[in-house]
Structure 1
Amino acid sequence: MKATRVEAIAGAYLFEPMPHVDERGFFARTFDADVARSVGIDPGAFVQDSLSRSAKGVLRGMHLRSGAGEAKLVRCSYGAVLDVIVDLRPESPTFLNKASFTLTGDSQRSLYVPAGCAHGFQALSEPADVSYRIDRRHEPSEDVAIAYDDPDLAIAWPLPVSLRSGRDAEAGSLADALALIRGARTERSNR
């Protein structure tokens, strides 16, 4: 397995397995604690694994958490997605940068999304399964959603959006999310 730094987003990494392919199909290691450690990611920090299945055109995101945020390792285990991350950490040298990747079940590449980055994807296949390895338990009161079509994000989604959740349909602007994140940081530092 090879880890490659995502230049546009400080602390983000793309993990590429080295699959063994033969007439039966393939076998690939999708996570390696030693490789994660070698780039400064604590493999023991992950506390939850989740899976989503999406129909073609479904858009999930853009999401992040306020408070301490959450880091996640995402992988398209079946099908294909366009995966996008945006750095929303004001102290980061890559603040407001974005990066996108096509993740597929064939490649089994994983993307490490640092805490403080917004994340979303659009399903490019019917269906697309995305696996998440997350470093914090879910706390719904910390959920932040940004409108997928916010002009300040200017993300070029490849397909018309077929479905979104109610939460995503009501998502605020990037400016609203940044104000909410700043407010959460100020509250934490005043404790």
Structure 2
Amino acid sequence: MRVEKTPLEDCLVIEPIVYGDSRGFFYESFNQKKFNELTKADWRFVQDNHSMSGRGVLRGLHYQIKNAQGKLVRVVRGEVFDVVLDLRKSSPTFGKWFGVLLSSENNKQVWIPPGFAHGFVVLSEQAEFLYKTTDFYAPEHERCILWNDPTLNIDWRLSGEPILSEKDKLGVPFVRAEVYP
């Protein structure tokens, strides 16, 4: 497993070692012991989620203000541009964002600790997105930051207007968002 630090404190890009031959490929997508060594913490995942979206669908920027979720995200079909935003007021990277291409070709994963907002946009015809979470979904605590907030200036790599849910259209500006201590 290869690990890249990102510009955001505590957020990591993880790339598994893929073993391939004429039959196909194999890789270990998750190993609790190795993951805890990489993150220097004893994280436990309680929920796995799987979404499928078409080209141009943008989901995010989502987070839970209580029951904050850490997420380990990856793409198993297609390609997305994945975005992480640090919402921890005490962090030296508070208010900064990081983006990375995740695809079924590069097999990269992103570890997003609790305290971050997350979103992605689909760049391929379709994409299947998987993520493990460290806490359960709590809709009453879910929050959404406006995807195109001008103070964040996120380059979503869009070619046209994104397809958004009603919830994402109603996201709040970053300056009004509830954040973590």
TM-score range, shorter chain: over 0.9
Shift of 1:14: 1.1
In the other structure, the counterpart of 1:181 is: 179
Counterparts of 1:18-57 in structure 2, within 5 Å, are 18-39=17-38, 40-43=40-43, 45-57=44-56
Determine the C-alpha separation between the residues in 2 that align with 1:136 and 1:36: 17
Amino acid at match of 2:103: T
Shift of 1:25: 2.4
In the other structure, the counterpart of 2:4 is: 4
Residue-by-residue CA offset, 1:72-107 (whole Å, 9 max, x unaligned): 000011100000101110001211121110000112
Counterparts of 1:73-84 in structure 2, within 5 Å, are 73-84=72-83
Q: Is the 8 A contact 1:81 1:123 kept in 2?
A: yes
Amino acid at match of 2:128: D
Structure 2 gaps, min length 5: none
**1 or 2, which has the higher helix percentage?**
1
Is 1:97 matched up with 2:96?
yes
Residue-by-residue CA offset, 1:117-149 (whole Å, 9 max, x unaligned): 111000011111110100111111111101111
Q: Is the 8 A contact 2:19 2:27 kept in 1?
A: yes
Amino acid at match of 1:157: W
Query: RMSD in angstroms over aligned alpha carbons?
Result: 1.4
Determine the C-alpha separation between the residues in 1 that align with 2:162 and 2:149: 17
Shift of 1:162: 3.5
Segment of structure 1 superposing worse, 10-19 or 156-165: 156-165
Amino acid at match of 2:61: M
Structure 1 gaps, min length 5: 186-191
Question: Could you tell me the TM-score, scaled by structure 1's length?
Answer: 0.89
Shift of 1:68: 4.3
Amino acid at match of 1:163: I
Determine the C-alpha separation between the residues in 2 that align with 1:13 and 1:41: 13
Percent of paired sites with the same residue = 34
Shift of 1:38: 1.1
Shift of 1:116: 1.0
Runs of 4 or more off by more than 6 Å in structure 1? Answer: none
Shift of 1:34: 2.3
Determine the C-alpha separation between the residues in 1 that align with 2:98 and 2:152: 11
Counterparts of 1:129-148 in structure 2, within 5 Å, are 129-148=128-147
